[in-house]
Structure 1
Amino acid sequence: MSKLSFPGSGLLSAEGFPTSRRHPKSQSAFVTSRLAPYHRATLDGLHMRIFNPADDNRPASQAFDNTSTSVAASQMRNALNKLADTVQDAQTKKKFETEMDNFFTLFRRYLKDKAKGTTLDWDLIAPPNPKQVVAYDDLSASTNTDLLNKLAVLKLNGGLGTSMGCVGPKSVIEVRDGMSFLDLSVRQIEYLNHTHKVNVPFVLMNSFNTNDDTQNIIKKYEGHNIDILTFNQSRFPRIHKDSLLPVPKDFDSSIENWYPPGHGDVFESLNNSGTLDSLLDRGVEWLFLSNVDNLGAVVDLNILQHLNDTGAEYIMELTDKTKADVKGGTIIDYEGTVRLLEIAQVPKEHEQDFKSIKKFKYFNTNNIWLNLKAIKRVVENNELELEIIPNHKNISVGKGESDLSVVQLETAVGAAIRHFKGSHGVNVPRRRFLPVKTCSDLMLVKSDLYSLKHGQLTIDASRFGPAPLIKLGTHFKKVSDFQKRIPSIPRMLELDHLTIIGAVNLGRKVTLKGTVIIVASEGSTIDIPPGSILENVVVQGSLRLLEH
């Protein structure tokens, strides 16, 4: 039955190059080697020799690929050395050289991958076995709060709010009751510390995009019952798509010429910054990592107890895949090893298989539990080879000039699961995955579906089934536009699906139930009056009501 009532109306290899440089305390630290510019040459042990394809017994195409790879790598190393020469301050230069060594390691692997190919054999991909995914409901209930003394919480805080039309770090966007993502996270840890009389450190991994603003913002938490630590993830140079050379010409090049290389960089940066050693020195053994915009990622004693009891070095929280999550990374068994499979790794002919909810039931929430000593081991032993995600972009270079085609090489923290001992997934309830990526998500978490207590959102006990699916059109992409058009969040306790497209404005105290679709045709506006009740309706142009 359709209802609409208005008030009053009743409705991203050159062999022999140095590998990544480590933090000074690391046993694998080394002195940077400088390579003189050269072409047509590869390194053979400690001797230089001119490469002659005629002497190579490999197939011509492979010999060409390897020669091209060596040349591209040597050119990149020379370019990075020149970049380092532009840094004046000695301490800054040392840190920058470390980052460029790490970047070069990533770039070299990228070249190898391009030459050899790294496609997974689809026939060897299987859903995870029972030992690789544990049900949350099968975990022992824990009240062992002493474990909290060995835990630190890390939020990935490198992203900006630009996708939602905001300036500055995404973490400072107001989410609920005048509080930002950062405010809510701080309140959660404060309450945890106060309630259990512990001191769980709160760690933020910032990027060069968010660090300055974040440092200013966290001053307001001084005097609070919380210990906040920060470190920066790496700043890598974007590279020209055609020449594969760095876009920046010097250390102080425009910010647009650099990029943060994804959250897979957390392991290197945590170690190189000294933060990892700092946490270990204070007795911290485990790290709970999540995206700063996932409001469902709160400390869970049952998972922490499971981490302690099993001795697992890495646990990934997974949740049941829905139609809205079909493109999300999933956990797989690959020749007996647990791995993360992203859609970018899937051959086109198998994309539908990947999206199948029946074959791949889970997806990665990016809530990760880690053993700090294990992180130290895999980083210092150069064991991490995370799958590289080449991100192709066009960046603006100035008025009247064509955009620049660039590539930035990124990695994801979830891809590290295969490098740790005892790694597995825990299938958690959906409530632990509450991300806010768009204004559609923002509308959901602001609604009466959730109540806020001690920085944690809890879904209303009377709500039956999953949270509603909300799709807002381009008119609601920016937070400012969203707030202007929906100044008061409707009551949505009984809502299943909401789609709003076009210039639509909602009045105050509107109630939405069932499936509601509101579409304003181009050039027209729909104003839903205050106090309206919309249930199972399609509203178009001139408020025509259609049975749905």
Structure 2
Amino acid sequence: MAAATLSAPDAEKLSKLKAAVAGLHQISDNEKNGFINLVARYLSGEAQHIEWSKIKTPTDEVVVPYDRLAPAPDDASETKKLLDKLVVLKLNGGLGTTMGCTGPKSVIEVRNGLTFLDLIVIQIENLNNTYKCNVPLLLMNSFNTHDDTMKIVEKYSNSNVEIHTFNQSQYPRLVVDDFMPLPCKGHTGKDGWYPPGHGDIFLSLMNSGKLDALLSQGKEYVFIANSDNLGAVVDLKILNHLVSNRNEYCMEVTPKTLADVKGGTLISYEGKVQLLEIAQVPDEHVTVAVLHCIECCHPFSQIVSEFKSIEKFKIFNTNNLWVNLKAIKRLVEAEALKMEIIPNPKEVDGVKVLQLETAAGAAIRFFDNAIGINVPRSRFLPVKATSDLLLVQSDLYNLVDGFVVQNKARVNPANPSIELGPEFKKVGNFLSRFKSIPSIIELDSLKVSGDVWFGAGITLKGKVTISAKPGVKLEIPDGSVLENKEINGPKDL
């Protein structure tokens, strides 16, 4: 289909690739077709060019403020009817490698000995028990996480939650030099393959048979979220709004802070709502500006762009998505979901390879009556690094029925900013360096570098910087209270 627009050399390239992919026995025909279609679109140069002047800020009808949503029904039987239309789907394809863990990231312990997956199951179990409903949990695994996840979910066999798993597509990495699949070059192990981003969710739901099975059970909406986002819990007000207004797609967005400048944002474009990612922003809207640090008044240069501006684009995508299942089926069958392709260059054993990926949020423009909802920041609590783990394990949060809830004793609604040095990057090292997690209720910022070890019962307040000199082990004694302090050695304690 897309091959018709290819140049002669690219058409020949695609033809050779097709022949090579046909011989890959590790993947299904559906996966082979999906991969070839993706490559054909990539080679054709198919891209959606954004005209900057046509970008409009979405109105409150397009990006609905959360506090304008009608309350959820009071009647428990009405709530049950709503919830019986729902499926929760967690993206479970990622490994915990960035935090020094092996296996699925969802089995990292978050709090009180409970993992991300434990908390998710407890939350849904509470819903099902409270309202006598049946909200199933789907886990979209990748070939990297499938085997481990299948063993892990056995421990939930007695819970009141139906758990289903399916794998997202497995595509071969492309060798940049000759555009041939890496597995054809002798890389037959896992490093020859990749999962093509969470935009693959719609196709994989269909190909796995899960989509038709859910529709046959009367399910209408799927709530999709990253398994490491502790704020991504079922919200009855959102579900009620979507069912009442027949919205086929909803993206939860939340106000941007300076930490979120790279996150995609929602725009109105030619009468439709769509996701604008930084890769789509024309170069002329990226400029170098000289800013002044308010605290020290030293000038420094920083790349600032209109896209990153929290004035022009005030919201960003949390990747909490609510999608109508019938609409997914319609669009997948029509091959209409042509999200922007994200080329992701990698290197495997010195060989330059390319993986082509898509993002689920970019699908918003293909659905009818699609909206954003501007949700409170509490619905975006991802754990991407050990600095995030410190936040959620601390007294900043309480655990209530599987929900991680901010402690009301915290006056500042924003979380403190935390920077931990490379010594704390791996979960094992992080845990060994804290006898107990400090109290940070009154903390504004923490910066730690070097060989630092924390005793038990420590309290941190205001702005705290702890920096151990090279080759020096710096131990913070049990019971220390550090408020607006800069610690460079034992003498500062």
Please tell me the TM-score bracket, short chain as reference: over 0.9
Match of 1:282 in 2: 217
- Tell me the alpha carbon deviations over residues 152-196 of structure 1, each in whole angstroms, 9 at most, x when there is no partner: 100000000001000100000000000100000000000010011
Report the alpha carbon displacement of residue 244 of structure 1 after superposing the two structures with TM. Answer: 1.7
Deviation of 1:541 (Å): 3.8
Q: Aligned letter for 1:234?
A: S
Q: Note the C-alpha offset of 1:531.
A: 0.4
Q: Is the 8 A contact 2:252 2:319 kept in 1?
A: yes
Residue type of the alignment partner of 2:53: D
Q: Which amino acid aligns with 1:424?
A: I
| Residue of structure 2 equivalent to 1:27 | none
Q: Give the direction of change, closer, same or farther, for the CA distance of 1:543–1:415 in structure 2 (3 Å limit).
A: farther
CA distance in 2: counterparts of 1:378 and 1:483, whole angstroms: 46
Measured after TM superposition, the shift of residue 523 of structure 1 is 2.0
d(CA) in 2 for partners of 1:218, 1:139: 35
What is the Cα deviation at residue 76 of structure 1?
A: 1.3
Partner of residue 136 from structure 1, selected from 58, 63, 66 = 66
- Note if contact 1:174-1:181 (Cα within 8 Å) is conserved in structure 2: yes
3-state SS, counterpart of residue 68 of structure 1: helix
What is the distance in 1 between the residues matched to 2:3 and 2:348?
A: 32
Gaps of 5+ in 2: 287-304
User: For 1:371-429, what per-residue CA distance to the aligned partner results, in whole angstroms no more than 9, with x for missing partners?
Assistant: 00000000001110011111111122xxxxxx111110111100000010011100000
Q: Secondary structure at the match of 2:59?
A: coil
Match among 452, 457, 462 for residue 509 of structure 1: 457
- Aligned partner of 2:334 among 381, 389, 395: 381
* Aligned pair partner of 1:333 in 245, 257, 268: 268
Q: Compute the displacement of 1:252 (Å).
A: 8.6
Task: Report what 1:122 is aligned to.
Answer: 52
Does structure 1 residue 269 correspond to structure 2 residue 204?
yes
Change in 2 beyond 3 A, CA 1:250/1:186: farther
- Once the two structures are superposed, the pairs formed by residues 431-470 of structure 1 within 5 Å of their partners are 431-464=378-411, 465-470=413-418
Letter in 1 for 2:38: L
Q: Distance in 2 between matches of 1:412 and 1:244?
A: 23
Pairwise mapping of residues 465-544 of structure 1 onto structure 2 (< 5 A)? 465-544=413-492
Moved over 4 A (4+): none
5 Å matches for 1:193-232? 193-232=128-167
AA aligned to 2:319 is N
What pairs up with 1:347-386 in 2 under 5 angstroms? Answer: 347-351=282-286, 352-386=305-339
Q: Corresponding residue for 1:105?
A: 37
* Corresponding residue of 1:50: none
What is the aligned partner in structure 1 of residue 297 from structure 2?
Answer: none
Give the secondary structure class of the aligned counterpart of 2:320: strand
Q: In 2, distance between residues paired with 1:269 and 1:174?
A: 28
- What amino acid is aligned across from residue 128 of structure 2 in structure 1? N
- Whether the 8 Å contact between 2:436 and 2:455 is mirrored in structure 1 is yes
Query: Separation in 2 of the partners of 1:282 and 1:250?
Result: 45
Contact 2:256 2:314 in 1 (8 A): yes
Q: Take 2:265 and 2:306, find their aligned partners in 1: how far apart are those partners?
A: 12
Aligned mate of 2:9, from 42, 60, 68: 68
1:121 to partner: Cα distance:
2.2
Q: Give the Cα–Cα distance (whole angstroms) in 1 for the partners of residues 381 and 2 of structure 2.
A: 43
User: Counterpart amino acid of 1:96?
Assistant: S
Aligned to 2:289: none
Q: Provide the residue aligned with 1:79 in structure 2.
A: 20
Match for 1:502: what amino acid? G
Paired residue type of 2:386: C
| Aligned-residue CA RMSD (Å) | 1.7
SS at match of 1:193: helix
User: Using the alignment, how far apart are the partners of 1:124 and 1:414 within structure 2?
Assistant: 20
Does the aligned pair in 2 maintain the 1:14–1:70 contact within 8 Å?
A: no
1:98 CA drift (Å) = 1.0
- Shift in Å, 1:15: 2.9
| Secondary structure at the counterpart of residue 184 of structure 2 | coil
- State the shift of 1:131 in Å: 2.1
Matched pairs, number: 469
TM-score of the two chains, using structure 1 as the length reference: 0.83
Deviation at 1:242, TM superposition (A): 2.2
Deviation for aligned residue 1:543: 4.5
Distance in 2, matches of 1:74 and 1:487, equals 60
Change (3 A) 1:544 1:252: closer
Unpaired runs of 5+ residues, structure 1, are: 1-12, 17-41, 43-64, 88-92, 397-402
Query: In structure 1, the residue corresponding to 2:485 is in which secondary structure?
Result: strand
Contact kept? 1:14, 1:69, Cα under 8 Å: no
Q: Do 2:248 and 2:324's aligned partners in 1 also have CA atoms closer than 8 Å? A: yes
Q: Deviations over 1:288-313 (max 9, x none)?
A: 11000000001011000100111000
Contact 2:342 2:357 (C-alpha < 8 Å) held by counterparts = yes
Distance 1:473 1:238 in 2: 33
**CA separation in 1, counterparts of 2:458 and 2:418?**
16
Please report the TM-score for the alignment, with normalisation by the length of structure 2.
0.92
2:118 matched to which residue of 1?
183
- Tell me by how many angstroms 1:522 deviates: 2.2
Q: Secondary structure at the match of 2:20?
A: helix
Report if the CA contact (8 A) 1:383-1:419 is conserved: yes
Aligned partners of 1:14 and 1:74 also within 8 Å = no
Aligned-pair CA distance for 1:466: 1.1
Name the SS for the 1:171 alignment partner: helix
Q: Report SS of the residue matched to 2:12.
A: helix
**What letter is aligned with 1:15?**
A
SS in 2 for 1:466: coil
2:377 to 422, 430, 435: 430
Amino acid corresponding to residue 9 of structure 2 in structure 1: S
Name the CA distance, whole Å, in 1 between partners of 2:181 and 2:435: 46
- Aligned-partner Cα distance in 2 for 1:541–1:337: 57
Which residue number corresponds to residue 412 of structure 1? 359
Q: Distance in 1 between matches of 2:47 and 2:183?
A: 28
Mapped to 2, the partners of 1:124 and 1:324 lie a distance apart of 27
CA distance, structure 2, for counterparts of residue 249 and residue 390 of structure 1: 21
